[in-house]
């Protein structure tokens, strides 16, 4: 039966975006980059299963890899149904500042930005993975992105890969050390990438914000890590 | 002479139907002597706002009980000022809180209501029970050629005339990224925003809860939808077709409850 409103166009589900920011510096060579490739290859399937039970939102993924430069794996976020991981290699530097600057540029609804929708409804999720110390002045870029609303209110987590990872820097990125998970073997790295992807996506697509509090004092979203997530085997890295 | 007509409708969201939770939106259209008013209130969906369907109901009741006196006090020329609106907003919050307190006194929280809250959320609602009733508040009043919008929380207050469609209230950063201001907040009085527009005899106005704009790709698509509402408001099947469409919009879009109210002017 026809309806007066049959001609209404532009209807869409809200979209939540998960940003993966992945260190591919030289020190990631071998077992570490292998584990990242393995985990990211399986992330899409894990997230598709999650979204089967969530009809309220679309989930899109965007991957930014960095060493000397920062490069997006696709020109726009990709729906989880269409996401295909392409294996990456370890390269050279750890220019985190360059990566954060590039991420900041895309957190916008302007031309070239990755954020869409009529309103800024779902805050995105950010997962940073790194095994070392930044080789550039990342603090300037971090200070700038911290005033971007999508970053400020987004879910921020990080994976500290091995002993040499700069956990303080990662905590500066996430806003709390509680959202930094440290791993020392490839099995744990794979588990943590999947855990953070699923947990962050779940929170992002449920729109876990709430009533504004006075000033900027809104609660940081803290991820609760299951006690049995890690094997605590320190033999690999 | 400009002819006005108005309506208000609220429908339950697709996700609420799935999860078997009640509609948390409420709305109304009031035609009084020499004025018309529309109200939308959207109860918050978070776990600790488990009585927000009552909060939004109380918000609409407060306006029904008070708007006539407010308009009468403006006098024959509807001499509306920022100070008078500020006072009315304070009375809305006071009366809303009174209704919440009476309800809580009759019905303290039950274990069933509290069982799904985290320890932190439990602590928060026990320290301030008003949180459980949290809701937004949007009101549009048309009187003597003036339009007044009062807004606390997310949702949209839209003006339409022959030339353009726009939202006269400035953007509020506190209403972005999933956050909202609220009737239940300690800062509600200062969080209220309003605007007085003159020479609006031929303008139409709309109030919508955020479930509607969150179902569109962009603001232009949302405004085009409101134009279709305007073009068809006088049709016999208008309200029934609109309610069927809003259900579909929720399913294909935000999955949220939806309220749409309007005071339409033929111009």
Look at residue A214 and tell me whether its pLDDT is greater than 70.
no
B-facing residues of A in 28-87 (CB < 8 A) are 55-57
CB contact under 8 A, A14 and B254: yes
Which residue, A94, A100, A58, A97, is CA-closest to A79? A58
Alpha carbon distances (Å) from B119 to A106, B56, B115: 37, 26, 10
Look at residue A212 and tell me whether its pLDDT is greater than 80.
no
Cβ A13 vs Cβ A116: under 8 Å: no
Minimal-distance CA residue of chain B relative to A118: B218
CB contact under 8 A, A153 and B178: yes
Q: What is the DSSP letter of B110?
A: P
A119 and B CB contact within 8 Å: yes
| Size of the A and B interface in Cβ pairs below 8 Å | 128
Instruction: Tell whether pTM > 0.90.
Output: no
* Residues of chain B contacting A223 with CB distance shorter than 8 Å: none
C-alpha A30 chain-centroid distance:
23
Q: How many CA atoms lie within 13 A of B250 on its CB side?
A: 24
Look at residue A154 and tell me whether its pLDDT is greater than 70.
yes
Confidence of residue A217 (pLDDT cuts 50, 70, 90): very low
Torsion of CA A191, A193, A198, A201, to 10 degrees: 170
Instruction: Report pLDDT for B154.
Output: 93
Identify from B18, B119, B152, B177 which residue to disrupt to test chain A contact, counting A C-beta atoms within 10 A and taking the largest count: B177
Sign of torsion over alpha carbons B166, B170, B174, B176: positive
Which residue, B64, B70, B16, B4, is CA-closest to B209? B16
B208 and A CB contact within 8 Å: no
* Helix locations, B205-255, DSSP H: 210-213, 219-232, 238-252
* Residues of chain A contacting B18 with CB distance shorter than 8 Å: 55
In the block, residue with structure tokens 């469609």: B165
Q: Are strands B35-42 and B25-32 parallel, antiparallel or unpaired?
A: antiparallel
Cβ A57 vs Cβ A123: under 8 Å: no
**Segment A161-175 mean pLDDT:** 91
State which residues of chain B have pLDDT below 70. Answer: 1-3, 267
Look at residue A1 and tell me whether its pLDDT is greater than 90.
no
Radius of gyration of chain A (CA): 18
CB contact under 8 A, B213 and A118: yes
Confidence of residue A52 (pLDDT cuts 50, 70, 90): confident
Cβ A170 vs Cβ A128: under 8 Å: yes
Spatial separation of the C-alpha atoms in residues B2 and B181, rounded to whole Å:
35
Confidence of residue A215 (pLDDT cuts 50, 70, 90): very low
Torsion of CA B199, B158, B82, B25, to 10 degrees: 140
Sign of torsion over alpha carbons A146, A151, A153, A156: negative
Cβ A188 vs Cβ A194: under 8 Å: no
B232 and A CB contact within 8 Å: yes
B139 forms beta bridges with B39, B150
Which residue, A65, A53, A116, is CA-closest to A93? A65
Instruction: Report pLDDT for B180.
Output: 85
B156 and A CB contact within 8 Å: no
CB contact under 8 A, B176 and A7: no
A-facing residues of B in 81-120 (CB < 8 A) are none
Confidence of residue A209 (pLDDT cuts 50, 70, 90): low
Structure tokens at A86: 């392409």
Which residue, A176, A115, A149, is CA-closest to B179? A149
CB nearest A4 (choices: B131, B174, B232): B232
A13 and B CB contact within 8 Å: yes
Spatial separation of the C-alpha atoms in residues B170 and B176, rounded to whole Å:
13
Spatial separation of the C-alpha atoms in residues A119 and B180, rounded to whole Å:
13
Instruction: Report pLDDT for B267.
Output: 65
Instruction: Report pLDDT for B266.
Output: 83
Question: What mean pLDDT value characterizes chain A?
Answer: 88
Confidence of residue A218 (pLDDT cuts 50, 70, 90): low
* Residues of chain A contacting B184 with CB distance shorter than 8 Å: 211
Element (H, E) at A157: strand A155-161
CB contact under 8 A, B177 and A13: no
Supply φ then ψ for residue A123, to 5 degrees. Answer: -75, 140
Which residue, A84, A111, A79, is CA-closest to A12? A79
In the block, residue with structure tokens 């911290």: A146
- Encode pLDDT of A102-129 as tens digits: 999 999 888 889 987 766 667 899 999 9
Structure tokens at B240: 């029934």
Look at residue A83 and tell me whether its pLDDT is greater than 60.
yes
Q: What is the DSSP letter of B76?
A: T
Instruction: Report pLDDT for A219.
Output: 65
CB nearest B179 (choices: A9, A14, A210): A210
SS3 B262: strand
Instruction: Report pLDDT for B244.
Output: 97
How far is B231 from chain A, CA to nearest CA, in Å? 10
CB contact under 8 A, A123 and B178: yes
CB contact under 8 A, A55 and B18: yes
- E-assigned strands of B77-230? 137-143, 146-152, 156-160, 165-166, 193-197, 204-208
* Residues of chain A contacting B215 with CB distance shorter than 8 Å: 11-13
């Amino acid at each position: 039966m026809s309806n007066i409103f049959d001609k209404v166009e532009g209807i869409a589900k809200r979209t939540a975006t998960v940003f993966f920011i992945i260190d591919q510096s030289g020190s990631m060579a071998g077992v570490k980059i292998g584990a990242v490739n393995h985990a990211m290859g399986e992330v899409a399937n894990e997230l598709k299963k999650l979204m089967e039970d969530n009809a309220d939102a679309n989930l899109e993924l965007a991957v930014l890899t960095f060493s000397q430069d920062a490069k997006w794996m696709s020109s726009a976020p990709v729906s989880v149904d269409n996401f295909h991981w392409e294996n990456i290699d370890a390269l050279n530097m750890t220019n985190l500042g360059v990566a954060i600057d590039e991420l900041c540029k895309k957190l916008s609804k302007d031309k070239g930005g990755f954020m869409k929708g009529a309103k800024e409804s779902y805050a995105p999720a950010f997962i940073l993975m790194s095994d070392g110390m930044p080789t550039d002045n990342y603090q300037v870029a971090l200070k700038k992105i911290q005033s971007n609303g999508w970053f400020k209110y987004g879910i921020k987590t990080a994976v500290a890969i091995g002993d040499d990872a700069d956990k303080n820097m990662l905590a500066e990125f996430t806003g709390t050390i509680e959202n930094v998970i440290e791993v020392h073997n490839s099995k744990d790295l794979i588990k943590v990438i999947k855990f953070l992807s699923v947990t962050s996506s779940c929170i992002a697509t449920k729109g876990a914000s709430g009533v504004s509090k006075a000033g900027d004092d809104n609660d940081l979203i803290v991820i609760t890590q299951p006690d049995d997530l890690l094997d605590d085997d320190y033999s690999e890295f | 002479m400009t002819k006005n007509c108005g309506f208000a409708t609220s429908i339950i969201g697709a996700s609420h139907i799935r999860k078997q939770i009640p509609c948390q939106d409420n709305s109304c259209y009031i035609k009084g002597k020499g004025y018309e008013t529309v109200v939308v209130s959207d109860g918050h969906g978070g776990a600790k706002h488990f009585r927000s369907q009552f909060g939004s109901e109380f918000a609409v009741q407060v306006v029904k009980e008070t708007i006539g006196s407010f308009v009468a006090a403006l006098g024959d020329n509807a001499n509306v000022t920022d100070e008078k609106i500020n006072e009315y907003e304070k009375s809305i919050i006071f009366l809303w809180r009174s209704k919440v307190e009476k309800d809580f006194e009759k019905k303290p929280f039950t274990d069933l209501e509290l069982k799904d809250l985290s320890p932190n959320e439990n602590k928060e609602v026990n320290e301030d029970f008003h949180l459980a009733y949290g809701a937004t508040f949007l009101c549009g009043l048309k009187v003597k050629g003036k339009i007044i919008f009062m807004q606390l929380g997310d949702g949209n207050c839209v003006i339409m005339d022959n030339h353009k469609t726009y939202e006269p209230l400035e953007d509020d950063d506190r209403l972005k990224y999933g956050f909202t201001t609220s009737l239940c907040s300690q800062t509600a009085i200062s969080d209220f925003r309003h605007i007085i527009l003159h020479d609006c005899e031929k303008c139409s106005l709309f109030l919508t809860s955020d479930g509607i704009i969150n179902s569109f790709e962009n603001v232009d698509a949302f405004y085009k939808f409101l134009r279709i509402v305007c073009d068809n408001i006088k049709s016999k099947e208008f309200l029934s077709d609109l309610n069927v469409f809003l259900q579909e919009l929720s399913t294909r879009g935000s999955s949220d409850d939806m309220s749409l109210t309007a005071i339409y002017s033929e111009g």
